[in-house]
Amino acid sequence: MFLEFLSYAFLRRALLSGLLISISAALVGSSLVLKRYAMIGDGLSHVGFAALAIAMIFSWSPLLVALPIVILAAFLLLRISENNPLRGDAAVAMISSAAMAISILLISVTKGMNTDVFSFMFGSILSLSDSDMILSVVLSVVVVLFYLISYNKIFAVTFDEVFAESSGISSNFWNSVLAVLAAVTIVLGMRMMGALLISSLIIFPPITAMRLFGSFKQVSIVSVLVSVATFLIGIFSSYALNLPTGPAIVIANILFFLFFSFLRQLRRRKKVTVGGQE
């Protein structure tokens, strides 16, 4: 069945770009979750949906329209959360619902709800075009490489912004870098997961990894593995059982999360303290 799966060009495209997007989402997600920015990821996906709606109305390339808009929104949301720790999450929720309302309104007065709109909402990795695939592959490789090159600085800024700043690492600059990486990852991931489900790709794998692992490196590596595994399970089961891909990936993530939580409980009960991990 696996060979049969690979014989379809559209499935090979989906597999390649999906794997790379999953890897970048897991890496960027670890930092976002630990910085308490998970909600920003969710807000960005709604802004992304609005951008896709605009692109659709004017028949522009969805990714090329969404990228700059979502990057701008990422800067904006980051500023709001930093300056307003108490009401930051409310502001993010306001921007998300505003973006959603505007996009639904625009769509219904122009083209009306159609299959394109549903694919933006719920994802359609199987309908990836060649140019979309190339863009996804190139951008996610850039995100992953950049993350790896700056890994130690990203760790420092994620763990303790104030100390990082005292070492001459500008938290403003690195938070902006993180915002751009998150924006790119979310825009790419929206093709696969849809606007409504993309934040699960960013949040679930790191949270799952944190259930069992206690170092940043382990959490990063394990969340990449979880992300890749849940993507593969999701896409194969969607092919074999004719399920929608995005929701299948989320369900796989939920199962992994429950399994890791169960193992954690077991370990607590046994009170095993393994040196390297806990």
Partner 1 sequence: MIEKTPDRILIELKDIAFAYDGRPVTPSMNFSIRKGEYVSILGENGSGKTTLLKGLLQMKEPYQGRIIFDAEMEKQNIGYLPQQSGLQKDFPASVTEIVSSGRLNRHKIFAFYSSEDRQAVQETLRRLDIEDLADRSFRNLSGGQQQRVLLARALLASDGVLLLDEPTAGLDPIASHDFYDLIRSLNREGETIIMVSHDIHCVMHDATHALHLGKDYYFYGPKEEYLDSVMAASFLHRAEDK
What residues make contact with partner 1 under the rule CB under 8 A?
34, 36, 149-153, 155-156, 159-160, 162-169, 210, 213-219, 273, 275-278
Q: What per-residue string of b and e applies to 228-248 under the rule 16 or more CB within 10 Å gives b?
A: bebbbbbbbbbbeeeebbbbb
In the complex, the smallest distance separating the C-beta of residue 60 from partner 1, rounded to whole angstroms, is 37
Q: What's the CA gap between 212 and 221, in Å, rounded? A: 12
Q: Which is nearer to partner 1, 120 or 256 (CB)?
A: 256
244 Cα distance to chain centroid: 18
Q: Which is nearer to partner 1, 112 or 275 (CB)?
A: 275
Q: What's the CA gap between 6 and 174, in Å, rounded? A: 39
109 CB-side CA count, 13 A: 6
In the complex, the smallest distance separating the C-beta of residue 174 from partner 1, rounded to whole angstroms, is 11
Q: Which is nearer to partner 1, 32 or 210 (CB)?
A: 210
Cβ atoms within 10 Å of 39's Cβ, excluding its own: 20
Q: Which is nearer to partner 1, 5 or 151 (CB)?
A: 151
In the complex, the smallest distance separating the C-beta of residue 92 from partner 1, rounded to whole angstroms, is 18
In the complex, the smallest distance separating the C-beta of residue 136 from partner 1, rounded to whole angstroms, is 27
